Structure 1
Amino acid sequence: MPAITPIPLAELTTLRVGGTPERMVEAHTRNDLVDALRTVWADGEPWLVVGGGSNLLVGDEPFDGTVVLVRTTGIERMGGAPDGRARLRVEAGHDWDALVAYTVAEGLAGIEAMSGIPGRAGAAPIQNVGAYGQEIVETLVEIELLDEATGEVEVVPAADLELGFRTSALKAHYGSVPKRSGVIVSITLELLEVGHGEFPVRGAQLRQALGMDADATATLRGIRETVLSTRARKGMVLDDGDLDTHSAGSFFQNAIVSASFARTLPAECPRWPIAATLDPVTVIPLAAYDGLVAPPVSTRPDVKVSAAWLIEHAGLGKGFHLPRSRAALSSKHALALTNRGGATAGELAQLARFIQQRVQSEFGLMLQPEPVLVGVEL
C-alpha cells in the first residue's frame, strides 16, 4: 500500500480546512487504488477518499483513519458508440476541467457547459454534477465501481445509479449513508461528435447563460470560454489569489419543492419546473378487460427554486459574515461559503447553520448542504 506522510486536509480541500489524518495513501494507478481500499476495508478502519477536495467540509480534529488520495489519470477511446458519437473511459483521478478541455479540443460535445468545475472525474457521477443545463446523467454510460461489500470491481450502468438532481445511489447526503458503498475507479462517457465549427446550442438554460436566441449556434471553444468567464466572475473558478474561490462552490442545493409550496414563495423568487415522471404503461390482460380504463392521475411537477435568492432575501447579502468570524459568504455569489483566511471548519459550520435558520424563519424551507461533511455537524 503506497503510504505517504499524512498531509493536513486543510492543504487538500478547496475550503482549506481539515485536520491531519492518522494515515494517508496516494494511489497513482488503479491497482494502487484497489489494493489500498481492499486493505483499509479488511482492517475495518474509518476511511475517506479525496480527489480534488472541492466538495468536502472536513472537521478540525485529526481524522482517525486512512485518507486515500486518488491520483489516477488517463483518457481512453472505447468502441461501441453509435455513429456520430464517441465513448471515452476516464480514470477516476483525472482532473475534471482537463477532461472538458480535452473533449473540446477533440470536437466532442456534451460536457462543455461544465467547464471550470473543480474536482476529479470520479466524483462527477456521485452528485450528478451539472451546470448551465448540462448534467453528467446525459452523457454517462457506466462506471467501474470497487464495491465495498464484495471488494470486487464491477461495471455498473448509469441507469442503476439512481442519478437525480445532485444525487445518486453513491452519495452520502448530510445525515444519511449512501445506498451503495464503494469507490469509482473509472467513468465512461458518450459524447456527440460535432467538430470545431458552429452547431445548434441545445438547452434553454445554456442559451440564456450565453445570451443566445433559440436558433443560435456556437463552437465548443466559444461555449467553454464563455462559461469559464461567467464562472470566474462568480468566484467559481479556483484562483489562489481570490479568496472568493476558497470555497466548496455552491454550499447549499437549490431546493426541490412541491408546486403548492412554491406558490407560497414570493413571485419574484426564481424557479424552474422539474419534468414530471411519465406514468408507466398499464397492461391489462385481455381476459380481465371490462371496457374501462382508470383515468391517469394528474400531478403537477415539482419545482426547483433558487437557494441563492432565498439567502439574499433572508437578509444575508454577498460578503455577509458573523462577528469575528473568518468565514463569509462570497462577495460575488451568495451561495458560496468562503474561507477568508484561517477560518476553521467550526466557523464555516456556524455560518451555514445561521443561514439555514434565517432562510427557514423567513420562508419556511430548510436548505440542505451540497458538500460532503466529515466530522462536522450542522
Structure 2
Amino acid sequence: MTDSATDASTDRIPALAELTTIRVGGAPAAFVPADDRDTLVRAVRDAVTSGEDWLVLGGGSNLVVADDGFDGTVIHVRTRGVERLSASDGRIRIRVQAGEPWDDLVALTVRNGWSGIEALSGIPGSTGAAPVQNIGAYGQELESALVGVEFLDEETGDVLYLRRDELGLGYRTSVLKRGRRGVVLSVDLELDDTTASDGVGAPLSAPVAYAQLADALAVPLGARVPVAELRRAVLALRSSKGMVLDPADPDSVSSGSFFTNPIVSESFARSLPRNAPRWPQEPAEPDAVIGLPPGGLHPLDVPPLATGEYTVKLSAAWLIENAGIHRGFALPGSGAGISSKHTLAIVNRGGGTAADVVQLADFIQSRVQAEFGVLLQPEPVMVGISL
C-alpha cells in the first residue's frame, strides 16, 4: 500500500513487540488497524492487489517476529461481536468475529451454561486464529465444536465459507497454516446447552478427557462437572504453568508452548526410555483369534493380519527436561529463558530479542535431537526468522 495507516491511538506505526505476547519484533513497513469487517476485507484486498507482502495480526500470542520487523503491511484484526444463530434443540450455534479475544468468548459461553470449549479456557489470542492452529488443551480441541469459518481467499479475493471438513484440521494445524493464504473473518461454533429446563442444577461440562484435569477436579475421567467449575480448574492449572497472561507473572511473557508434542512411529517410540510418556494416536489392532479345525490349519488358510504402523505422540516437555534443559534455564547473556514453571515455554526475561529466542530454541532443538533423535518443531508462527 502506498498510503500506510498507523495506529490511530498513537499516530505512529507500532513495533510488533508492543502487540505480541512474547514482546519481540520490530515495526512493519505499514500498519492497518481493522475495527470492522469491511475495513478488514478492504485492507486485505488492497494489500494483495499492491503485490506487497502482508501479515494478519490478532492477539499476537502465537507469533515471533524478527527484530528487523516486517517489510510489508500488518493488518491488525480488531473486529468484535458474537451473534446467536438458529440451531437444533439442545444445541447453541454462534458466529464470532475474528478479532474477539478467545478467552472472553469462552467466559461468555460458560456464563450462559454452554459447553464444548470450556477446557480451552485461558488460551490467549483471537478467535480468528483458533481454527488456524486447531487450538487444544486438556483433552479438548476446537475441531469438536467448530462448524466452519468465513474466509477471505487471497488467490480469488472472494469471501468463502469453509466447512470444518474442508479445513484439514489436525494436531495444531489446518490447511490455513499449511499454505492456504487468506484471512478468517468469522468463526461458527456449535455448543451444547446444558442449562436445566427446570432451572435446577448447574450447567455441566463436556466429559473430562484429560487425566491431570480429572485429578485437579477429583473426578474420574469421563465425568461431567459444573462448567464454571471446570473453567476455574483449567485456569488454575494454566496459571501454575505461567500459561495465562498476567502482568504480574514474568513467566507469562511468552508465546505459550513453543514446541509441539512430536508424533513418531510406534517402532521409534519403543527405542526411547521406558519412562518417556507416550500416547498412541490410533487404537491397536485387537488380537486375532483363529479357530483350529481338526488336523490344524494349512498356512494358506490363515487370514492376513494387519501390519500397519501406528503413530505415537510424545511429550516435548519430557524430552526437553531429560535432555538436560530445566525450568529457568537461560544461555549466558541472553534475554530469553525457559519458564520457571514449564519447560515448554520460552519467555522474554526482560529486554529479550527475537534473536535471543531463536538462539535458545535452536539450542533446545539440538540438545533434544542429539539425546533422543527427535527434531522438535516450533508451534508459533515465525516471521522473518527460522530455526
* TM-score in terms of structure 1 length: 0.91
Query: How far is the alpha carbon of 1:202 from its aligned partner?
Result: 3.9
Output one character per residue of 1:50-108: Cα deviation in whole Å (capped at 9) or x when no partner: 100000010000311100000001001111x2321110100000000000000001111
* Offset of residue 275 of structure 1: 2.8
CA shift in 2, pair 1:276/1:185, >3 Å: farther
Match for residue 71 of structure 2? Answer: 64
Report the alpha carbon displacement of residue 204 of structure 1 after superposing the two structures with TM: 4.1
Q: Distance in 1 between matches of 2:309 and 2:217?
A: 30
Show the counterpart of 1:111.
Answer: 117
Distance apart, 1:326 and its partner CA: 1.1
User: Does the CA contact (< 8 Å) of 1:52 and 1:119 recur in 2?
Assistant: yes
Which of the residues 9, 19, 36 maps onto 2:16? 9
Q: Which amino acid aligns with 2:111?
A: A
The C-alpha deviation readout for 1:152-200, integer Å capped at 9, x for no partner, is: 11000010100000000010xxxxxx33111100000010111233466
**Which residue identity does 2:240 align to in structure 1?**
R
Please name the residue that 2:133 is paired with. 127
1:333–1:37 distance in 2 versus 1, CA, 3 Å: same
Secondary structure of 1:103's aligned partner: helix
Determine the C-alpha separation between the residues in 2 that align with 1:23 and 1:199: 44
Instruction: State whether residues 2 and 26 of structure 1, in contact with CA within 8 Å, keep that contact through their aligned partners in structure 2.
Output: no
**Cα distance in 2 for residues equivalent to 1:268 and 1:306:** 11
1:42 maps onto 2:49 in alignment: yes
Residues of 1 paired with 2:95 and 2:184: CA distance? 12
Structure-1 separation of matches of 2:223 and 2:62? 34
Distance 1:197 1:129 in 2: 24
| CA separation of 1:277 and 1:125: change in aligned 2, threshold 3 A | farther
1:314 has 2:323 as partner: yes
Q: Tell me how far 1:273 sits from its aligned partner.
A: 1.2
Cα distance in 2, alignment partners of residues 170 and 243 from structure 1: 31
**CA shift for structure 1 position 297:** 3.6
The answer to whether the 8 Å contact 1:2/1:32 transfers is no
In the alignment, structure 1 residue 342 sits paired with structure 2 residue 351: yes
CA contact (8 A) 1:51 1:71 kept: yes
Q: Structure 1 residues 257, 150: CA separation in 2 closer, same or farther (over 3 Å shift)?
A: same
Q: Give the CA deviation at 1:277.
A: 11
1:215 Cα deviation (Å)? 5.9
Mapped to 2, the partners of 1:213 and 1:161 lie a distance apart of: 33
Alpha-carbon distance change, 277 to 144 in structure 1, aligned in 2, over 3 angstroms:
farther
Where structure 2 has 5 or more consecutive residues not aligned to the other structure, the ranges are: 7-11, 196-201, 286-300
Following the alignment from structure 1 to structure 2, what is the Cα–Cα distance between the partners of residues 19 and 6?
10
Does residue 83 (structure 1) correspond to residue 85 (structure 2)? The answer is no
Determine if the alignment matches structure 1 residue 137 to structure 2 residue 143: yes
1:63-212 alignment runs, 5 A limit? 63-79=70-86, 81-171=87-177, 178-195=178-195, 196-198=202-204, 201-205=207-211, 206-208=213-215, 210-212=217-219
- Coordinate RMSD, CA, aligned: 2.0
Secondary structure at the aligned position of 2:256 is classed as coil
Q: Following TM superposition, where does structure 1 have runs of at least 4 consecutive aligned residues deviating by more than 4 angstroms?
A: none
| Aligned counterpart in structure 1 of residue 274 of structure 2, from 267, 281, 299 | 267
Q: Which position in structure 1 is the counterpart of 2:38?
A: 31
Q: Hey, what does 2:289 align to over in structure 1? A: none
Give yes or no for contact 2:24–2:353 (8 Å, CA) kept in 1. yes
Asked if the contact 1:48/1:68 (under 8 Å) is kept, the reply is: yes
Structure 1 segment 273-312 matched on structure 2, within 5 A? 273-275=280-282, 295=304, 297-312=306-321
User: SS of the counterpart of 1:3?
Assistant: coil
Unaligned runs of 5+ in 1: 172-177, 279-291
Deviation at 1:214, TM superposition (A): 3.6
The answer to whether residue 23 in structure 2 is matched with residue 21 in structure 1 is no
State whether structure 2 residue 360 is matched by structure 1 residue 351.
Answer: yes
Aligned partners of 1:333, 1:274: CA distance in 2, in Å? 24
Q: Distance in 2 between matches of 1:313 and 1:50?
A: 35
* Cα distance between partner residues in 1 of 2:210 and 2:364: 30
What is residue 249 of structure 2 aligned with on the other side? 242
Separation of aligned partners in 2, 1:344 and 1:163: 32
Higher alpha-carbon deviation: 138-147 or 205-214:
205-214
Q: Kindly tell me: are residues 258 and 209 of structure 1, through their superposed partners in 2, closer, same or farther at Cα, counting changes over 3 Å?
A: farther
Q: Deviations over 1:334-353 (max 9, x none)?
A: 00000000011001100000
**How many residue pairs end up in the alignment?**
358
Distance in 1 (alpha carbons) for counterparts of 2:88 and 2:194: 14
Per-residue deviation, 1:271: 1.2
Q: Normalising to structure 2: TM-score of the pair?
A: 0.89
Query: Deviations 1:203-224 (Å, cap 9, x if unpaired)?
Result: 2444345342146331010000
> Which AA in structure 2 matches 1:338?
V
Q: Distance in 2 between matches of 1:277 and 1:110?
A: 28
Residues 2, 36 of structure 1: 8 Å contact kept:
no
Q: Deviations over 1:137-159 (max 9, x none)?
A: 10100100000001111000010
Whole-angstrom distance in 1 between the partners of 2:150 and 2:56 = 16
Maintained 8 Å contact 1:93/1:121: yes
Change in 2 beyond 3 A, CA 1:212/1:299: farther
Question: Deviations 1:99-136 (Å, cap 9, x if unpaired)?
Answer: 00000011110100000000000000001000000000
Equivalent residue of 1:249, what SS? strand
Question: Which amino acid letter does the alignment assign opposite residue 88 of structure 1?
Answer: I
